[in-house]
Amino acid sequence: GGVQTNVIPEELSAAFDIRIPPTIDHDELEAKIRGWCREAGEGVNIEFTQKNPRIESTKLDDTNPFWVAFKGQTDQLGLNLLQGTFPGGTDSRFIRE
């Protein structure tokens, strides 16, 4: 930022915490952001302080023996399962690695 009102600062920076859904391609999103920076003009850059690899979501079908066992037991108990993606706040992505 600047040092006083109505003075254009020499440099501006911003930080964004982007939580990408499992269905979004990381490389495509990064290319889109880099494209926006190019469109904005010379001197607009992006720097990543952290980038995590895309981790495939756990398969909830017959190819996953853990799911088959879990689903079999819940079916046997007459439980209805609602499948979804937890929106964030856990380290569950490390379990999928």
Its domain, for residue 67, covers 26-96
Say if residues 29 and 20 touch (Cβ distance below 8 Å): yes
Q: Rounded to the nearest 5 degrees, what angle is found at the Cα of 53, between the Cα atoms of 52 and 55?
A: 120
Structural domain includes residue 63: yes
Structural domain includes residue 46: yes
For 35-85, the pLDDT digits (tens) are 999 999 999 999 998 888 888 888 899 999 999 999 999 999 999 998 887
User: What residue type is 53 in one-letter code?
Assistant: P
pLDDT at residue 88, rounded to an integer: 65
Structural domain includes residue 20: no
The Cα–Cα gap between 44 and 46 comes to: 7
Structural domain includes residue 33: yes
Say if residues 76 and 38 touch (Cβ distance below 8 Å): no
Count of the separate structural domains present in the chain: 1
Structural domain includes residue 9: no
Structural domain includes residue 55: yes
Structural domain includes residue 16: no
pLDDT of 1 strictly over 60: no
Structural domain includes residue 88: yes
Distance, CA of 26 to chain centre? 8
